[in-house]
Amino acid sequence: MALPDLSPEQAAVFAAIETTRDHVFVTGRAGTGKSTLLEHLSWRSSKQIVICAPTGVAALNVGGQTIHSLFRLATGVIADHRIDQSPELRKLLGTIDTLVIDEVSMVNADLLDAVDRSLRQARQRPHEAFGGVQLVLFGDPFQLAPVPGDPDEQAYFADRYRSPWFFDARVWDVAELTIYELTTIHRQHELEFKRLLTAVRHGAVTAEMAKVLNDTGARPAPTEGAITLATTNATVNRINAAALARLPGRSLSAEAEIEGEFSGRAFPADERLELKVGAQVMFLRNDSGAEGRWVNGTIGEVVRIGQGAVTVEVAGEPHEVRPATWERYRYRYSPATKTLQKDVVAEFTQFPLRLAWGVTIHKSQGKTYDRAIVDLGQRSFAPGQTYVALSRITALEGLYLTRPLRPSDIIVDERVREFMAGASAVRPLAG
């Protein structure tokens, strides 16, 4: 598989992971290439590596397994409950050199402590953090937060932990986390826009900065070629349904082919995709061909719907798009080779397209857009939400706002601010 070249700082982190047993947290602002580095690690590491993520879709996107599925853990708070492990699971966990967790900012402290306990138990190393496995974490706490549980779970965290965040797990009382922050932004190139995004990320937006963002965003939004980033599914569904209905002709639908089991219907694309000629769509994965005609997040327009193919025009160029297959994996130990094997246990086949007049800010995570309309509704209601929305856009000129930004839209969790301030002092990345 052809992989993009690593930048010097990405290569330095890769070398640090490969040549040490250090527990590593790879972080960085949006667009600094965390996903590129993770993909490189997945394909190029010489270690017995296992990749997992907190949600089904996140696991699919990185070719891994969910944390709960990998460790056979029950959902909800695990606390000090008994963890049952089959001989096969103990063998699997005993073979891992390096465990990679993507989107770790969504992993709560209790779950990370359960991962630690599971590895100690399976590997029969009760006094060694993570049972001697190297942990590599990817994510940005300024973008995604752990999902708050019910009132009982919230009370549990308030009683037992400094916060629900992964960095407040008890395992860090006995283990050291080396933090590498990628600093080279590949998505945006304007110094002014980078400065503004950094201020939004850290909750340090001045009145002058807010004026620049609001004056730029107040222009009339384009009628086509821009996507609306909204806070709720209801808003996005309304935008897409209304825009599709306005197009002439009848809509044609494509049903996904699903083999195997996808727990919780964690599908990477629509189970039933409705399209019309003229529909604005977004690609959901990179072009698998060598040409790289589109990337995850590219916006285009449907110009033809044929048998088994959809023609999408991107920047004036028509491209024939065929269904793509996402594979769900499960790791297992192979007694024959005494190594880890990654088996395909489910497949989801569908056109890698989604209607894209609107998308939720959450689903825009990891995407890149030249132009976007940011709709925060009545208010931004989650830490990092406004930063995620603004940082999807490649240039300040591509920003449109449905209403002016308010100070209350810039929410930064105080524990994140404290942790990241301390983290920057732990291990600055050598340039």
In a shared domain, residues 59 and 199: no
In a domain, 417, yes or no: no
In a shared domain, residues 16 and 164: yes
In a domain, 128, yes or no: yes
Q: Which of 186, 215, 240 is the last residue of a domain?
A: 186
Per-residue model confidence (pLDDT) at position 347: 94
Which residue in 107, 122, 94, 119 sits closest to 175, CA to CA? 119
Q: Please state, in angstroms and as integers, the Cα–Cα distance from residue 220 to each residue in 226, 242, 357, following that order.
A: 12, 20, 16
In a shared domain, residues 278 and 133: no
In a shared domain, residues 34 and 14: yes
Per-residue model confidence (pLDDT) at position 76: 86
Reported as a single tens digit per residue, the pLDDT across 24-55 is 999 998 888 899 999 999 999 999 999 999 98
CATH number at residue 13: 3.40.50.300
Q: Which of 186, 221, 243 is the last residue of a domain?
A: 186
Q: Is 348 within 8 Å of 370 (Cβ atoms)?
A: no
Q: Is 369 within 8 Å of 280 (Cβ atoms)?
A: no
In a domain, 56, yes or no: yes
Per-residue model confidence (pLDDT) at position 431: 44
In a shared domain, residues 257 and 339: yes
Measured CA to CA, the distance from residue 182 to residue 204 in angstroms comes to 20
Beta strand 399-401 with 372-375: parallel, antiparallel or unpaired?
Answer: parallel
E strand intervals along 130-278: 134-138, 177-182, 227-230, 252-255, 257-260, 272-275
In a domain, 430, yes or no: no
In a domain, 251, yes or no: yes
Instruction: Give me the phi and psi of 233, to 5 degrees please.
Output: -60, -40
In a shared domain, residues 221 and 159: no
Q: Which residues of the chain are under the pLDDT cut of 70?
A: 1-2, 263-265, 290, 423-431
Per-residue model confidence (pLDDT) at position 182: 92
In a shared domain, residues 343 and 197: yes
In a shared domain, residues 225 and 372: yes
In a domain, 415, yes or no: no
Number of domains the chain contains: 2
In a shared domain, residues 195 and 180: no
Cβ contacts of 190 within 8 Å, gap of 6 or more? 395, 396
Domain that holds residue 40: 8-186
In a domain, 418, yes or no: no
In a shared domain, residues 213 and 317: yes
Cβ contacts of 343 within 8 Å, gap of 6 or more? 329, 330, 331, 332
In a shared domain, residues 23 and 130: yes
In a shared domain, residues 162 and 215: no
269 CB-contact burial (10 Å; exposed 0-12 / middle 13-18 / buried 19+): buried
Which H or E run contains 24? strand 23-28
Q: Which of 165, 186, 207 is the last residue of a domain?
A: 186
Which residue in 136, 146, 167, 147 sits closest to 62, CA to CA? 136
